[in-house]
Chains A and B, each alone.
Chain A
Amino acid sequence: MVDMPKSAIVGIGQTEFSKNSGRSELQLAVECIKAALDDAGLTPADVDGLITFTLDGSDEIGVSRCLGIDDLKFASRLPNGGAASVATICHAMSAVESGVCDVVVIWRALNERSQYRFGQPAARGALPTGGGTGFMEWCMPFGAQFPASWEALTAQAYMHKYGVGNEDFGLVSVQLRKHAATNPAAWFYGKPITIADHQASRWIVAPALRLLDCCQESDGGVAIVVASMARARQLRQTPVGIFGAVTAMRCNNETITNYYHGADLTRLPISERVRDRLISGCGFAPRDTQVAMIYDNFTPQIYLQLEAFGFCGAGEARDYTRDGNLELDGRSPLSPNGGHIGEGYIHGMNLVTEGVRQARGTAANQVADVRQVFLASGMAGAIIGPC
């Protein structure tokens, strides 16, 4: 017996996704927030909660000052970088269902291509310090200085254990670029690739990751509005109910430098915990849904998460992908917007907005008969659907 959701996503908004936005991150943030409120039929005066995550360059004061938000009751900024993207849904749901807030806005806006390079090392002598940054302290002196190099140490373990080659990771890239090719909002609209293209792209970190295994670096902003289901019923859009939204952290887990959680890094016990909590909490397993929006910073993360979230068994993700299960008409359509690899990389949040469009039935690459959508960012997961 599935309980009806008590809260819903009522509005979504975004800027264009580009390589040079030509304006500040704060401007991107408030543009996408205003667009999401317009989409919902709400105004900034209705907003009493704000949520983003740690690496966002705009602050709550700046956002409130631009939008004229005058009665904020709740603001939170979540840990774990992009892994927080789906965790924001858990926080917004909690704020609304506890009665602390009526209308919560989630935003993420960044100029990670034009203002700084998310995928490249910090300049020499400018190494950030700070809590929990194992990738800085323990990796930098050894030449592992950018995200692909941290990811590769896990990906290579997977390759070794299951006899998977880099060309097998290319299946994910080809699939997501196929989706992006028919999504006008995607940076790679009209530009599908083949495995040969993937194999011709240069090594970023041998023998695991080529250029086309990496997500994009993008400029842009995305915002989402969450309210109670009762409020949602009075608003402009079809409510997209939050059936379940959970987050998980464990001792000895890290985000991208996740090397210390156990002997075998090809398993993601943290994602298995997210899956189990969703099943026990709302009755839906990730593989019961009709669309899978799964965080794709690098292609191997799709294999690891498909297995951990229960779409297929250990070591089976390559075959699951090759057999067409991730196609729009497959068993588990993966990120029909093209994901971070094909559409753009707004740090997880453009996957959430696409999940909402799929639930509303308004996506460019609409999957047929969507009742539930799975949103996942490794350490967090959510099940949403039209209500």
Chain B
Amino acid sequence: MDHNEASVERPEPVVTPDSAFFWEGAERGELLVKQCSACQRLWHPPRPMCPACHAIAMVPARMSGRGTVYSWAMPIHPFPFGFSAPPIVALVDLEEGPRLVSNVVGVDPRKMRNGLRVVVAFEPTAGGRAVPVFQLADGETV
């Protein structure tokens, strides 16, 4: 657990009709969150109706990719399948508001901390798809 390298066989996301845009966006290098076209609110996890105004017109909006780590943890036993080292799993609060489950990569777990400023990157899955992960933002230090 002394380093945290990219997964070589990262598991595939479970893609549903309401989430396909998110994973397809990741394959293009875009971090997308569904936005209500009527009231402009952002919602994640995505859903087919805006719970605030009940509009059906939910449109993917591209996020800046900048966020901060709210909390984090390293699953060690049982060892997560598809990973070559225990990953740092984190809740990342995007600067636009939504919170995502993701990984922090390229950071020594011994120096990991809450509040770290991070920026999105993308990593491949075993089946050739992609997922958004986060690395240290420019100028951020651990």
Please measure, in the bound complex, the distance between the C-alpha atom of A299 and the C-alpha atom of B83, giving whole angstroms: 27
Take A143-B87, A143-B103 as given contacts and tell me if A205 and B74 are in contact as well, using a CB distance cutoff of 8 Å. Answer: yes
A143 to B7 CA separation, bound complex (whole angstroms): 9
Q: Are B101 and A206 in contact (CB under 8 A)?
A: no
Supposing A160-B71, A205-B73, A260-B44 touch, asked if A145 and B19 sit within 8 A by C-beta, the answer is no
Contact A153-B89, Cβ < 8 Å, known A141-B13, A204-B76, A206-B74: yes
Query: CA A208 – CA B109 in complex, angstroms?
Result: 13
Report the minimum CB–CB distance from B93 to chain A (whole Å): 8
CA distance A382 to B70 in the complex (A): 33
At the interface, yes or no: A154 with Cβ under 8 Å from chain B? yes
A293 at the interface (CB under 8 A from B): no
In the assembled complex, B91 has its CB within 8 A of some CB on chain A: yes
Given A138-B45, A143-B89, A260-B45, also A205-B82 (CB < 8 A): no
Chain B interface, >50% SS class: loop
**B window 103-141: CB within 8 A of A:** 103, 109, 114, 125, 131, 133
22 residue pairs of the A-B complex, CB under 8 angstroms, read: A120-B78, A121-B80, A124-B81, A127-B14, A137-B19, A138-B101, A142-B133, A143-B82, A143-B83, A143-B89, A144-B80, A145-B81, A146-B78, A152-B89, A153-B72, A156-B114, A160-B71, A206-B1, A206-B76, A251-B51, A259-B99, A259-B101
- Which size class do A's interface residues fall under? 35 or more
A164 within 8 A of B: no
A74 at the interface (CB under 8 A from B): no
**CB contact between B14 and one of A129, A152, A153 (< 8 Å): that residue:** A129
Judge whether B70 and A145 touch: CB under 8 Å.
no
Query: Complex Cα distance A75/B50, Å?
Result: 33
Indicate if B10 sits at the interface (CB-CB under 8 A): yes
Contact of B75 among A134, A155, A205 (CB under 8 A): A205
**Contact between B78 and A202, CB atoms less than 8 A apart:** no
Chain A residues near B (Cβ < 8 Å): 120-121, 124, 127, 129, 134, 136-146, 148-149, 152-157, 160, 202-209, 211, 251-252, 257, 259-260, 263, 265
User: In this complex, what residue of A is CB-closest to B87?
Assistant: A143
A-B pairs with beta carbons under 8 A, tally: 122
Interface size (B, Cβ < 8 Å)? 41
B residues near A154, Cβ cutoff 8 Å: 71
Q: CA of A211 to CA of B77 in the docked complex: distance in angstroms?
A: 9
Q: What is the CB-to-nearest-CB distance from A266 to chain B, in angstroms, rounded to a whole number?
A: 10
Query: Are A142's CB and B99's CB within 8 A?
Result: no
| B101 proximity list for chain A (CB < 8 A) | 138-139, 142, 144, 153, 257, 259
Q: Is B11 an interface residue (CB 8 A)?
A: yes
> Do B13 and A260 touch across chains, with their CB atoms under 8 A apart?
no
Q: Would A143 and B91 count as touching, CB distance under 8 A? A: no
Report B121 CB to chain A, min CB distance, Å.
Answer: 13
* Interface pair A141/B125, CB less than 8 Å apart: yes
- The minimal Cβ–Cβ distance linking A156 to chain B, given in whole angstroms, is 4
When distances are taken between beta carbons in the complex, the residues of chain A under 8 Å from B76 are 202-206
Residue with the greatest number of chain B CB neighbours at <10 A, chosen from A138, A141, A143, A204: A141
